Structure 1
């Protein structure tokens, strides 16, 4: 599973950082601005029924494929422990209709899901500093391409996110980072001008690993 591979890769990076020879490092503190560059997997949980306009079951479900892309995050420390993070990145996802004997692509879209979160950082002056956070996101679908004669419309909208992660100081302003977010977001999908519809709970896991630099 992609999430497992990312978590293992992140843990390996942290293990290497943690076993490195002790060196001076820049701690997190009030006024610090941290830039994180990460490889990020957006792993959706969508498996929702496709209904007719009258609400009858079609026997088909929505399946949204995962994607992996680079992302960036900016974190500003308002106090030693409390920070605000903004992340940005974009991923491309294929939307399919699945059912007994059916597996067909209906749409492909790019998604821009910026997340703003308020974080609490434990032990900001320590080499290993975990954190938790919560925030909001706005899901934007763009550059959509319909497939196999279908006409699909997806609604943009707000969601909310929970977050957990850890920074491991490496040397000077550099650190290694693993970050996991659970984004809760639901969109209305209209297919063929409303002839078919689905309320799609994307609810993606956003799993990231990378490196940070403190300014």
Structure 2
């Protein structure tokens, strides 16, 4: 939490700074195709009244979604960016109950703001960035393998984490259009809970840590 607070303060400080007097077209909008590739695991089991296998591990499936990114340049080198998308995942067992669906149709909004530093090299601008993220879970359902156990409801906790990114923007002439390639790695957790009626049957803590890879077009204006 201390790391996230410090990152938020850094972002607010940058946003309070005046835009570079000579910077043209400070706004950039990107329309991207994005691959969301979870790389998480169960960190611990806190509650288990159904007798889960000791070797149980899980993985969320990959998903591919459109993404809108909006960026503001304070100077030629410093910008702040936020993204908008929603992604949906199932969670299946990879060991212990191999192939069993534990969570179905879990939808998350990865609300993310990053402070970015760009290195202009002619028409090519590599960049790196870092910032806070909030994984807001807006829906999830019990997986098919949990319903016969009496599970009636599944929840995933919304949590704050950190995102790091690197990428490159490539200008196409002087029209303001360009191409963009972007890679983000998120570090964020969630607590999963399965209920049988009002009874908490299973509670597990997961690290999610997805890779988010994007490519698309950009427009400065």
Q: TM-score range by the shorter chain?
A: 0.7 to 0.9
Q: CA deviation at 1:95?
A: 1.1
**Corresponding position of 1:169:** 171
Q: Aligned partners of 1:117 and 1:52: how far apart in 2? A: 33
The answer on 1:47 being equivalent to 2:47 is no
Question: What is the number of residues matched between the two proteins?
Answer: 187
Of the three residues 162, 172, 185, the one matched with 1:182 is 185
2 CA distance for matches of 1:165 and 1:130? 6
Could you list the per-position Cα deviations for residues 161-189 of structure 1 after superposition, in whole angstroms to 9, with x for gaps in the alignment? 11101001113110000000111001111
Check whether the contact 2:53–2:96 (CA below 8 A) recurs between aligned residues: no
Match of 1:72 among 68, 71, 77: 68
TM-score by length of 1: 0.80
* Residue equivalent to 1:154: 156
Structure 1 partner of 2:13: none
Paired residues of 2:57 and 2:96 also in contact (CA < 8 A): no
Query: 1:199 aligned to 2:205?
Result: yes
1:213 aligned residue (186, 194, 219):
219
What is the CA-CA distance between 1:30 and the residue it aligns to?
5.7
Give the alignment partner of residue 81 of structure 1, picking from 57, 63, 77. 77
Q: Tell me how large the CA RMSD over aligned residues is.
A: 2.2
1:52-67 paired onto structure 2 within 5 Å: 53=47, 58-67=54-63
CA–CA distance in 1 between the matches of 2:67 and 2:220? 17
Contact 2:136 2:158 (C-alpha < 8 Å) held by counterparts: yes
Q: Distance in 2 between matches of 1:102 and 1:76?
A: 46
Distance in 2 between residues matched to 1:107 and 1:91, nearest whole Å: 14
Post-superposition CA distance 1:140-168 (Å, at most 9, x none):
11132222213321100111111101001
What is the Cα deviation at residue 98 of structure 1?
3.2
Q: CA deviation at 1:29?
A: 3.3
**What are the ranges of 5 or more consecutive residues in structure 1 without an aligned counterpart?**
1-27
Tell me the residue number matched to 1:122.
119
Partner of 1:8: none
Superposition misfits of 4+ residues, deviation over 4 angstroms: 54-57
SS at match of 2:41: coil
Q: Residues 147 and 57 from structure 1, CA distance in 2 versus in 1: closer, same or farther, beyond 3 angstroms? A: closer
Cα drift, residue 52 of structure 1: 5.9
TM-score (norm 2): 0.78
Partner of 1:131: 127
